[in-house]
């Protein structure tokens, strides 16, 4: 399917790669269809592009690639809603905030990860209440 986006222009998207956010992204309850875009295969960053709103794309990252301790406990109700049957089918990503004038000030939302079930294309954002994780964790150490 062709998808017109503000950030990437017209792109071809395999409909099998569109995730249904059965647990919406906080603040974006009316949007449920998103696709992960990798404009640069060598980059740690990907984009979570809304299929329903061409102007909305979140920069996301898989924290696992950063080699720091980040473990999450997925509650049973989330496992049920996302139809999770095995951990191998999971992808966990986090929304980042990249200041245009200071990319070294990039922060990662560790408190509310995005959980993707690759097997059934269901996804959702969860809040890790009581985890001690930060909503604006600095990606780079200050010099």
pLDDT tens for each residue of the chain, 143 residues long: 999 999 999 999 999 999 999 999 999 999 999 999 998 888 889 999 999 999 999 999 999 888 888 999 999 999 999 999 999 999 999 999 999 999 999 999 999 999 999 999 999 999 999 999 999 999 987 65
- pLDDT for position 143: 57
> 2-138: which CATH topology?
BH3618-like (2.30.290)
What are the sequence ranges of the domains in the chain?
A: 2-138
- pLDDT for position 39: 87
Q: Say what the pTM is.
A: 0.94
Distances 56 to 6, 47, 49, 110 between C-alpha atoms, Å: 8, 10, 6, 21
């Amino acid at each position: 399917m062709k998808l017109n986006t503000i950030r990437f222009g017209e792109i071809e998207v395999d409909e099998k790669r569109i995730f249904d956010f059965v647990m919406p992204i906080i603040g974006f309850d009316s949007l449920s269809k998103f696709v992960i875009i990798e404009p640069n295969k060598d980059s740690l960053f990907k984009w979570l592009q809304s299929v329903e709103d061409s102007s909305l794309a979140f920069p996301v990252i898989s924290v696992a690639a950063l080699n720091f301790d980040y473990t999450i406990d997925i509650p049973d109700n989330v496992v049920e809603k996302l139809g999770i049957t095995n951990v191998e089918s999971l992808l966990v990503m986090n929304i980042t905030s990249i200041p245009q004038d200071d990319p070294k000030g990039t922060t990662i939302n560790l408190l509310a990860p995005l959980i993707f079930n690759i097997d059934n294309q269901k996804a959702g954002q969860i809040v890790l209440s009581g985890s001690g994780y930060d909503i604006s964790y600095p990606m780079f150490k200050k010099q």
